[in-house]
Amino acid sequence: MASGILSNSTNNSGMPCPMNPQEMVGKILPPVLILEMIVGLPGTLLALWIFCFRLKGWKPNTVFLFNLVLADFFLLVSVPFRIHNILHGEYWWFGSVWCRINLFMLAVNRSASIAFMTTVAVDRYLKVVHPHHCINHMTKKQAPCLAFLIWAVVLALRLPLLGEPLLFQKGNISLCRSFGIQKINPGIVIHYGVYFLEFFLPLTLLIFCTVRIACVLHQRNLDREQRVRRAVRTVTAIVVVFVVCFLPGIMIGIAGLWFQGLEKDCKREGMVTELFRLSIGFTYLNSALDPIIYSLSSSMFRDAIKSLFYSLAPGGKYREGRNLRRSTNTDG
């Protein structure tokens, strides 16, 4: 989602900083993003196929996981254009309209991934800590309505990007960026605000859920219950994926904003720009790691994968049917 930051600063004499050649970005980021696509796309497509054709008797947790898969899929569809952009020395070939659409899609699906990861974690928390809460009795119709509401909020918050001029000239190069652009309009201010808020608010919720589940385990001696152990593993995995993928970009972004208040230094700010763009590699890593969350959170998904391999093995049909029946009865 992110591009440059602080790219329009001036040096100590008041003259504009020269364009940073972004050598580290050009050498490191394309191979990293290509590797993440090679790993993430097959896993995401397999997850889509399993959710659409192999699972029966969907529950609210399954609905939220399916929407997380959708967010990962649309993210992976958008990433090749950023890879092309970096490989061609930052020159954007696809015009102003697709620049806005591409950055909008990347931003939306980053936000949606965070939103549904948090929703899955909160769902696990409620089932362990407040098992009799009315939310735990959400119907098959209510869960898709909640998912639709989450998508609506995410789209509304990111919609201002479509109205902003995100393609601009730097010398003879057309740059497509949503960070570090020349003119800070209200839509860009919202974009920056959402970028930081969507990290710190979910992180607070995730930490709260993790601590509360740990306290309940200690107080009620539930550490041997399979349902509770699965909830602990799921929330822990979500926290780890969340921090690994999104913390680097946030920390470098905060450092960049702090440097803006200091005396301008083109070399320092050029380094921050490169590091910020390299953090994209961590951001898009979540599409490759999310299948871990699907497997830990849903026994239906996990057993569907086992059944798929059983069905491909000689004499595996019996075990396939047994696993599907068991997962339908036990998934929380």
- Run of H or E including 176: strand 173-176
- Run of H or E including 134: none
**pLDDT at residue 312 above 90?**
no
Lowest-pLDDT choice from 59-63, 147-151, 214-218, 310-314: 310-314
Count of structural domains within the chain? 1
Whole-model pTM: value is 0.83
- The answer as to whether 17 is a domain residue is no
Share above pLDDT 70 across residues of the chain, in percent, rounded to a whole number: 80
- The answer as to whether 170 is a domain residue is yes
The residue with tokens 């969340």 is 242
- Run of H or E including 210: helix 186-220
Task: State the Cα–Cα distance between residues 296 and 317, nearest whole angstrom.
Answer: 24
For strands 167-170 and 173-176, give the pairing: antiparallel
- The answer as to whether 2 is a domain residue is no
Question: Residue 35 is part of which domain span?
Answer: 23-327
Residue 287: closest CA among 77, 55, 2, 27: 77
The one-letter code for the residue type at 102 is N
Q: What is the pLDDT of residues 147-179, one digit of tens each?
A: 999 999 999 999 988 887 777 777 777 778 766
Task: State the Cα–Cα distance between residues 148 and 67, nearest whole angstrom.
Answer: 9
Residue 17: closest CA among 250, 192, 180: 180
- The answer as to whether 4 is a domain residue is no
* Comparison of pLDDT for 227 and 280, the residue scoring more: 280
Average pLDDT, the chain: 79
Residue 319 vs residues 50, 217, 306, 312, 313: alpha-carbon distances, Å: 17, 33, 9, 11, 10
Fill in the DSSP letter of residue 14.
S
**What is the pLDDT at residue 118?**
94
* Comparison of pLDDT for 13 and 305, the residue scoring more: 305
User: Half-sphere exposure of residue 30, counting CA atoms within 13 Å on the CB side?
Assistant: 14
295 in Cβ contact with 301 (< 8 Å) = yes
Q: CATH number for the domain including 46?
A: 1.20.1070.10
- The answer as to whether 11 is a domain residue is no
Q: What is the pLDDT of residues 68-92, one digit of tens each?
A: 999 999 888 888 888 888 887 778 8
Question: Which residues have a Cβ under 8 Å from the Cβ of 256 and sit 6 or more positions away?
Answer: 5, 6, 269, 272, 273, 276
164 in Cβ contact with 188 (< 8 Å) = yes
- The answer as to whether 1 is a domain residue is no
